[in-house]
């Protein structure tokens, strides 16, 4: 679809011709479901070949407030307004026990603090809109007739709500305009309309309400367009996607795939995939910026080195995804992107390196994401390693096993019995001591601490070592009970990870994490056994572990198109 660029004074607005015709210029509004979701009422069937989920297994009908980044991107795309996403208070991370992402819809609200910021942005956009209209002698500012008001409401409504307004919505905004115009004039009325639209839940949330009253409901065309674009690229749907929605094409999985591939070819979609991994491992820049270490124990550690660690991980993931995005490469690559300081920290070649990050071969024994100092240091204490923290992260993120709550008195027990070993104990000796003194703890800790012990060749800032307190480190790991394709003995946890990412449990777990991330949806152990997750895992293996293929395939499943009614 050809884009029409309107230059309205200082305000440049890109809108689709089709959308304008549909939503504004004709002054017509669609007859909709009245729930803010746009036209609906289609049959809630799964795409051909996809698992048809029991209704209870589908995500619920819901509304999802835009994330700060999504909100910022939407204002930029539809109003050419620059909004600093960090002005909004961050939302709490939320999710199931092993999948915790900032996309989780449950924690996103419009609190008074959010409302203050949204209100400020609405005022700013409304003021800029009036300036543009004045510069272009917009009819709405000069004793507008009904058609002009209808066009204005339809046009700005579509920009704000990312879909055409339905009859009811358009009627209410037109009435509001007329009332305000009667009291304060057309200019004030136009400004108030834009202010109201940009503080409306229809703007601040996207809906997944669907049409119809059955137990299983089909998402509307515009809901699908919004879901697809925000899910893959954190962006409002563009003109091509809105046109496809208008044409009723988005219940065709092939058509959706075509748009998904188009969206995923851009930088925003790759940034979103990078975010999946940095959130999984707590190494996104904002979080890792607070990483502190005891410099008495780690004299080489500094904020500069910490920032280099974070930069390495982001650069590495982005580069891998840009080159085809194999999950296997992410976890097993024998190269990374280092600057001189980090290469020195790793004992890698510093030849040709300065402040910039360049592709470098890693020293033997270090590979993949779990060889990154950022991941290793974040999951350590400030004065030492933490097999428990590292183990819990591996247990939850690679195996999707939840960590049960500690039983009553567990910490008291630990304090009383465990924290008194020889100060020169290695972590393995410490764990063996704890197992003897408090064997009841091993029913839980026995699952994950050994995974962390298999990374003891990396200290608390991710530097390689072979000994601690003069003792040779034993990093062997033995895995049982996770499936024939992974159970067995390993020299260390990196060797185990090589195997896990290609295994049945590893691929199903990654599919589950991606599902939770994409849909902002709580997941649990049962999710791993769902038909959709198994199919996604099969697709992952068949595509040589392509991360992008998992994201694409998430648009081809029942959970993308349909919702359960809920109460």
**Of 403-432, which residues contact other proteins (CB under 8 A)?**
405-408, 411-412, 415, 419
Specify the DSSP element, H or E, that contains 133. Answer: helix 112-135
Residues in 34-63 that interact with other proteins by CB under 8 A:
34-36, 60-63
Instruction: Pick from 38, 96, 164, 282 the residue near other proteins by CB under 8 A.
Output: 282
Part of the chain binding other proteins (CB under 8 A), chosen from 72-80, 175-183, 269-277, 488-496:
175-183
Is residue 96 within 8 Å of residue 88, measured between CB atoms? no
Instruction: Pick from 119, 143, 471, 541 the residue near other proteins by CB under 8 A.
Output: 119
Smallest separation, CB 112 to other proteins (Å):
4
Instruction: Pick from 10, 54, 89, 354 the residue near other proteins by CB under 8 A.
Output: 89
Residues in 141-170 that interact with other proteins by CB under 8 A:
168
Instruction: Pick from 209, 225, 327, 360 the residue near other proteins by CB under 8 A.
Output: 209
214 counts as binding other proteins under rule CB under 8 A: no
Question: How far is 318 from 463, CA to CA, in rounded Å?
Answer: 23
Q: Which is nearer to other proteins, 419 or 436 (CB)?
A: 419
Residues in 518-547 that interact with other proteins by CB under 8 A:
none
Q: Which is nearer to other proteins, 146 or 383 (CB)?
A: 383
Is residue 90 within 8 Å of residue 507, measured between CB atoms? no
440 counts as binding other proteins under rule CB under 8 A: no
Part of the chain binding other proteins (CB under 8 A), chosen from 88-96, 219-227, 253-261, 324-332:
88-96
Angle (CA) 267-269-272 rounded to 5° is 110
Smallest separation, CB 258 to other proteins (Å):
31
Smallest separation, CB 450 to other proteins (Å):
24
- Ramachandran bin of 446, using left for φ above 0, alpha for ψ from -120 to 50, beta for the remaining angles: alpha
Interface characters, 242-281, with other proteins (x: CB under 8 A): ----------------------------------------
182 counts as binding other proteins under rule CB under 8 A: no
Q: Which residues are paired to 65 by β-bridges?
A: 205
Residues in 486-525 that interact with other proteins by CB under 8 A:
none
Residue listed under structure tokens 């990483």 = 291
Question: How far is 257 from 245, CA to CA, in rounded Å?
Answer: 14
Instruction: Pick from 196, 219, 228, 264 the residue near other proteins by CB under 8 A.
Output: 196
Q: Which is nearer to other proteins, 419 or 469 (CB)?
A: 419
351 counts as binding other proteins under rule CB under 8 A: no
Which pair of tokens denotes residue 140? 């709405």
190 counts as binding other proteins under rule CB under 8 A: no
Q: CA 196, 199, 205, 208: dihedral to nearest 10 degrees?
A: -20
Question: How far is 458 from 292, CA to CA, in rounded Å?
Answer: 17
Question: How far is 380 from 383, CA to CA, in rounded Å?
Answer: 8
Give 3-state DSSP helix, strand, coil % of the chain, rounded to 5.
55, 10, 35
Which pair of tokens denotes residue 239? 């003109």
Is residue 400 within 8 Å of residue 524, measured between CB atoms? no
Residues in 226-245 that interact with other proteins by CB under 8 A:
none
17 counts as binding other proteins under rule CB under 8 A: no
End-to-end CA distance of the chain: 39
Instruction: Pick from 66, 121, 260, 518 the residue near other proteins by CB under 8 A.
Output: 121
124 counts as binding other proteins under rule CB under 8 A: yes
Which pair of tokens denotes residue 393? 């992260």
Residues in 288-317 that interact with other proteins by CB under 8 A:
288-296, 303
Instruction: Pick from 81, 159, 162, 202 the residue near other proteins by CB under 8 A.
Output: 202
174 counts as binding other proteins under rule CB under 8 A: no
Closest CA to 189 of 128, 142, 157, 147: 142
How many Cβ atoms sit within 10 Å of the Cβ of residue 137?
A: 8
Q: Which is nearer to other proteins, 294 or 529 (CB)?
A: 294
Q: Which residues are paired to 360 by β-bridges?
A: 336
Part of the chain binding other proteins (CB under 8 A), chosen from 2-10, 74-82, 399-407, 436-444:
399-407
Smallest separation, CB 483 to other proteins (Å):
30
Question: How far is 195 from 301, CA to CA, in rounded Å?
Answer: 49
Q: Which is nearer to other proteins, 61 or 251 (CB)?
A: 61
| Helices within 143-238 (DSSP H only) | 146-161, 167-184, 186-199, 201-204, 221-233
Residues in the chain: 567
Residues in 369-398 that interact with other proteins by CB under 8 A:
378, 382-383
Q: Which is nearer to other proteins, 49 or 408 (CB)?
A: 408
Which pair of tokens denotes residue 527? 């999710």
Is residue 178 within 8 Å of residue 150, measured between CB atoms? no
Which pair of tokens denotes residue 182? 């009667």
Size of the site for other proteins (CB under 8 A): 74
Is residue 131 within 8 Å of residue 11, measured between CB atoms? yes
Instruction: Pick from 54, 201, 404, 446 the residue near other proteins by CB under 8 A.
Output: 201
């Amino acid at each position: 679809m050809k884009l029409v660029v309107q230059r309205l004074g200082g305000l440049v607005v890109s809108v689709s011709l089709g959308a304008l015709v549909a939503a504004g210029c004709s002054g017509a509004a669609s007859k909709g479901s009245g729930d803010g979701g746009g036209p609906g009422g289609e049959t809630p069937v799964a795409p051909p070949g996809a698992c048809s989920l029991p209704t209870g297994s589908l995500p619920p009908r819901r509304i999802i407030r835009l994330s700060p980044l999504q909100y910022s991107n939407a204002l930029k795309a539809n109003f050419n307004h620059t909004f600093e996403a960090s002005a909004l208070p961050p939302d709490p991370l939320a999710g199931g026990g092993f999948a915790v992402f900032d996309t989780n819809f449950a924690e996103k609200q419009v609190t008074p603090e959010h409302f203050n910021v949204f209100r400020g942005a609405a005022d700013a956009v409304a003021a800029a809109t009036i300036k543009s209209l004045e510069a272009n002698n917009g009819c709405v500012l000069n004793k507008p007739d009904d058609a002009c008001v209808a066009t204005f409401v339809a046009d700005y409504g579509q920009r704000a709500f990312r879909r055409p307004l339905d009859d009811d919505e358009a009627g209410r905004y037109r009435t509001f305009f007329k009332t305000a115009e009667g009291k304060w004039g057309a200019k004030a009325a136009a400004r108030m309309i834009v202010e109201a639209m940009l503080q409306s839940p229809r703007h601040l949330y996207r809906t997944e309400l669907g049409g119809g009253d059955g137990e299983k409901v089909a998402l509307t065309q515009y809901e699908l367009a919004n879901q697809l674009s925000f899910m893959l690229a954190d962006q409002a749907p563009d003109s091509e996607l809105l046109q496809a929605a208008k044409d009723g094409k988005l219940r065709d999985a092939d058509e959706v795939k075509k748009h998904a591939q188009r969206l995923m070819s851009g930088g925003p979609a790759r940034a979103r995939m990078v975010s999946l991994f940095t959130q999984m491992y707590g190494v996104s820049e904002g979080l890792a910026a607070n990483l502190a270490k005891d410099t008495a124990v780690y004299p080489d550690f500094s904020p500069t080195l910490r920032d280099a660690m974070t930069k390495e991980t982001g650069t590495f993931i982005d580069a891998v995804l840009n080159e085809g995005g194999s999950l296997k490469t992410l976890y097993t690559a024998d190269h990374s992107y280092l600057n001189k300081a980090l290469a020195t920290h790793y004992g890698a070649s510093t030849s040709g390196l300065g402040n910039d990050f360049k592709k470098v071969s890693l020293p033997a024994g270090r590979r993949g994401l779990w060889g990154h100092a950022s991941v290793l240091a974040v999951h350590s204490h400030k004065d030492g390693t933490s097999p428990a923290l590292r183990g819990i992260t591996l247990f939850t993120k690679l195996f999707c096993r939840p960590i049960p709550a500690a039983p009553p008195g567990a910490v008291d027990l630990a304090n009383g019995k465990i924290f008194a070993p020889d100060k020169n104990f290695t972590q393995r000796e410490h764990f063996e001591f704890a197992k003897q003194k408090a064997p009841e703890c091993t029913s839980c800790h026995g699952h994950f601490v050994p995974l962390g012990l298999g990374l003891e060749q990396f200290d608390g800032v991710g530097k390689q070592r072979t000994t601690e307190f003069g003792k040779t480190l034993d990093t062997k790991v033995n895995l049982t009970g996770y499936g024939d394709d992974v159970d067995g003995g390993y020299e260390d946890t990196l060797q185990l990870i090589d195997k896990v990412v290609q295994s049945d449990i590893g691929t199903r777990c990654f599919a589950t994490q991606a599902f939770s991330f994409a849909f902002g949806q709580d997941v649990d152990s049962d999710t791993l056994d769902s038909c959709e997750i198994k199919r996604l895992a099969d697709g992952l293996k068949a595509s040589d572990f392509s991360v992008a293929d998992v994201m694409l395939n998430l648009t081809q499943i029942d959970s993308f198109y349909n919702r359960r009614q809920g109460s």
